[in-house]
Structure 1
Amino acid sequence: MLKVWIAGASGQIGRALNDVLDPMQIEALNTDLDELDITDTDEVINFGTVNRPDVIINCTGMTDTDECEANPEHAYRVNALGARNLSIVARKCGSKIVQLSTDDVFDGQSKKPYTEFDDTNPLTVYGRSKRAGENYVKEFTHKHFVIRSNWVYGHGGHNFVNRVLAAAEAGNGLSVASDQFGSPTSAKDLAKMILYLISTNEYGTYHVTCRGVCSRYEFAQEILKLAGKDIELRAVPTEQSDLSAVRPPYAVLDNFILRIIEVYDMPDWKESLKEYMDERTED
């Protein structure tokens, strides 16, 4: 039985991991802020020493970009020092560690998808604090998987899909950015990929997104189509949009390593979105 510590278990990726893991094979140690503060070094080390996990998955994070800009010290405390603390435990226990990261470590100025070998150049506090977290994990542990994804949505998350649907329910029109590009990625597909990777020794940095690229506007169009909602949708620049904070304009990640090691293929973003919307309907 593999013992897996999921830090940040109530977030959308933590929830997805619990939904897809096999409880006959994996014992999940679920913690969130109520149970454990990952910024408290002693608390984290004590929990790790007592429970001795085989794998630590860091799903925690301060992800609100505006909040990060307003409170950079707290952003670094959670996104960087939290990752450092979990890495200390991983090294102490000989555990594998999964650090979830983001496309925001890049500046978004590229005209082609970013590979894992491209230089990072974050322009926001969120992106810089997440890069600092990545660096701590790489510095403290060798059995690590740093996984960057983007436009992630899942159950229970304050994400773009749920916000578009909330606006539709309220009958409000939406102005959505047509100049931001990315690959919408289901938390469930990301969770499956994480569970696959931790069963291997293929350590390193990975880009993991669903296949295909779209603008935020096209993403919103597909969400509304699948939901059978008809509201006024306006394509606008980011500065005029209702739902998009200023983020890297070109957030497209190339799953380069996954492709060259030929072990795992992510589904198309439209297929994954349909599956998620079908599950929402069933709920």
Structure 2
Amino acid sequence: MQKIWICGANGRVGRKLTGLLRSEPVELLLTDVDSVDITVSGDVMEYAGMNRPHFIINCAGLTDLARCQREPELAFKVNALGARNLSVAARMGKARLVQFSTDDVFDGDSREPYTEFDTPGPQTIYGKSKLAGENFVREFCSRHIIIRSSWIFGAGSPYLGQILRMAEQGQVIHAAADQYAAPTGAEELAEKTVELMYHGEDGLYHVTGQGSCSRYEFAREAVRLSGTGAPVMQARGGDDDLNALRPSYSVLDNMMLRISGIALLPDWKVMLEAYMEQWRRRRQDTGMAGMDWRQGR
């Protein structure tokens, strides 16, 4: 029976991967920082040596941009050194490594979608640390897949979660109208990750929802699907506290999927509608359905 080690198993994508793979004839090794700290080389090597996984999926990372700016050494320790440690363990154990990365590795100056063949130029500590992690994976582990994605939403999503909390409370939502990317559902990303892990060739892939939008358009669509009727107002990226450090344009072109004959993910609106249907059902189960902010709660 194959063993699959998921690092950062409690995160958005980690939880989705766990749910998908539980039905497969595999042994899951699920860890987070409280059980295996990927920044400690000895701990990583000991765990990998004891369990000998066939696949290692690195969902762990420090994704808080503001914290990365405040604590750059911690950002590089988690996002770069952690990836290096897992790469070394994968190489020594002959495992295949799946590494998640981000659209923040690009500078945001383009107005054309970035392909896997475009040169990165990160402007933030977060983007720089994630690119360093990619480079360590390439250097130390020959059997690897690097997946760059963007604006991942799902249960536990900070940005979408904040939008929906504010919408339920009837607050005015200000969202950046000058930041563009391709939103991506955590569930669909997890499904494509499993497909690539088993059947994809080694290398770098951009995996995002099809189409693109601004933060404002994304927030407006989420609020519309929520049925709360809360107001959504346009803002500048620098005034959006949750995303002031994000690139202004980081739409990823899924060229490697396309030219490899691998099916693309659905349009971001289709994935958001599917997630919001789940959100509405959960809301209904808690007795909140039909009670938008205008009616009182």
The TM-score with structure 1 as length reference comes to 0.97
Contact 2:168 2:230 in 1 (8 A): no
Q: In the alignment, does 2:269 pair up with 1:270?
A: yes
Match of 2:247 in 1: 248
Aligned to 2:289: none
Change (3 A) 1:242 1:126: closer
Distance in 2, Cα, partners of 1:240 & 1:60: 29
Contact kept in structure 1, 2:237 and 2:243, CA below 8 Å: yes
Cα distance, 1:10 vs structure 2: 0.2
Q: Which residue of 1 aligns with 2:212?
A: 213
* Aligned 1:133-172 pairs, distance under 5 A: 133-158=133-158, 160-172=159-171
Q: Deviations over 1:18-48 (max 9, x none)?
A: 1222533222110001111111100000000
Q: Deviations over 1:181-220 (max 9, x none)?
A: 0111001111001100111250000000010111100000
SS, match of residue 198 in structure 2: coil
- For 1:98, what is the secondary structure of its paired residue? strand
Which position in structure 1 is the counterpart of 2:176? 177
Q: Distance in 1 between matches of 2:238 and 2:166?
A: 19
Which SS does the other structure have where 1:212 is aligned? coil
Distance of 1:54 and 1:282 partners within structure 2: 37
Do the aligned residues in 1 keep the contact of 2:254 with 2:264 (CA within 8 Å)?
Answer: no
Map of 2:256 onto structure 1: 257
Partner AA of 1:246 in structure 2: L
CA distance in 1, matches of 2:241, 2:223: 16
Q: Equivalents in 1 of 2:27, 2:157: separation in Å? A: 24
SS of 1:259's equivalent in the other structure is helix
Please report how far the alpha carbon of residue 242 of structure 1 lies from its aligned counterpart in structure 2 after TM superposition.
4.4
* Pairing of 1:42-57 with structure 2 (within 5 A): 42-57=42-57
Q: Is the 8 A contact 1:176 1:242 kept in 2?
A: no
Contact 1:75 1:129 (8 Å CA) reproduced: yes
Counterpart position of 1:186: 185
Which stretch of the first structure deviates more once superposed, 235-244 or 77-86? 235-244
TM-score normalized with structure 2 length: 0.93
Judged with a 3 Å threshold, the aligned counterparts in structure 2 of structure 1 residues 234 and 111 are, in CA distance, closer, same or farther, namely same
How many residue pairs were aligned? 282
Pair 242,170 (structure 1): closer, same or farther in 2 beyond 3 Å: farther
- Contact map agreement 1:66 1:245 (CA 8 A) in 2: no
Q: Which AA in structure 1 matches 2:214?
A: S
Contact 1:147 1:206 in 2 (8 A): yes
The structural deviation recorded for 1:50 is 0.4
Q: Which residue of 1 aligns with 2:58?
A: 58
Question: Are the equivalent residues in 1 in contact too, given 2:100–2:148 (CA < 8 A)?
Answer: yes
Contact 2:3 2:28 in 1 (8 A): yes
Q: Give ranges in structure 1 of 5+ residues lacking alignment.
A: none
Residue deviations 1:93-131, cap 9 Å, x none? 100000000001100100100000000100000000000
Partner of 1:271, secondary structure, is helix
Conservation of the 8 A alpha-carbon contact between 2:146 and 2:204 = yes
Contact 2:124 2:245 in 1 (8 A): no
Aligned to 1:83: 83
When Rg is computed on C-alpha atoms for both structures, the one with the higher figure is: 2
Q: Is the 8 A contact 2:115 2:254 kept in 1?
A: yes
- Does residue 112 (structure 1) correspond to residue 133 (structure 2)? The answer is no
Which runs of 5 or more structure 2 residues have no equivalent in the other structure? 283-297
* CA distance in 2 between partners of 1:270 and 1:177 (Å): 18
- Give the RMSD, CA atoms, in angstroms: 1.1
SS in 1 for 2:199: coil
Task: Read off the aligned partner of 1:176 and give its amino acid letter.
Answer: A
| Letter of the 1:231 counterpart | A
Distance in structure 1 (CA, Å) of the matches to 2:2 and 2:266 = 27
